[in-house]
Amino acid sequence: MRNMFSLPLNFITYADDTTLLANIHYTNPCNINQELQNVSTWFSTNKLSLNASKTKAITFHTPHRNITPPILNINNQPIENTNETNFLGITIDKHLNFKPHINKIATKLSRISGILNKLKHFVPHFTLKTIYQSLFIPHLTYGIMAWSKSPHSSQIVKIQKKEVRIITNSKYNAHTDPLFHKLKILKMEDLRKLFELKFFYKWKNGDLPYYFHDFLDPGRDENRLLVPIHRHQFFKSGLRYTITKTVNSTPDNILRISSTHSLKALSERVKTHYINNCSTDCILYNC
Q: What is the pLDDT of residue 27?
A: 57
Between CA 5 and CA 183 the distance in angstroms is: 49
Q: What is the pLDDT of residue 250?
A: 95
- In the predicted model, residues of the chain with pLDDT beneath 50 are 5
Q: What is the pLDDT of residue 282?
A: 62
- Please list the residues that pair with 90 across neighbouring strands: 87
- Please list the residues that pair with 57 across neighbouring strands: 81
Helix (H, G, I), strand (E, B) or coil at 218: strand
pLDDT in tens, 206-226: 999 988 999 999 988 888 999
Q: What is the pLDDT of residue 271?
A: 96
Domain extents in the chain? 10-82, 99-185, 191-277
Between CA 246 and CA 196 the distance in angstroms is: 7
pLDDT in tens, 31-75: 888 888 888 888 888 888 788 888 899 988 888 888 888 888 888
Q: Is residue 105 exposed (0-12), middle (13-18) or buried (19+ Cβ within 10 Å)?
A: buried
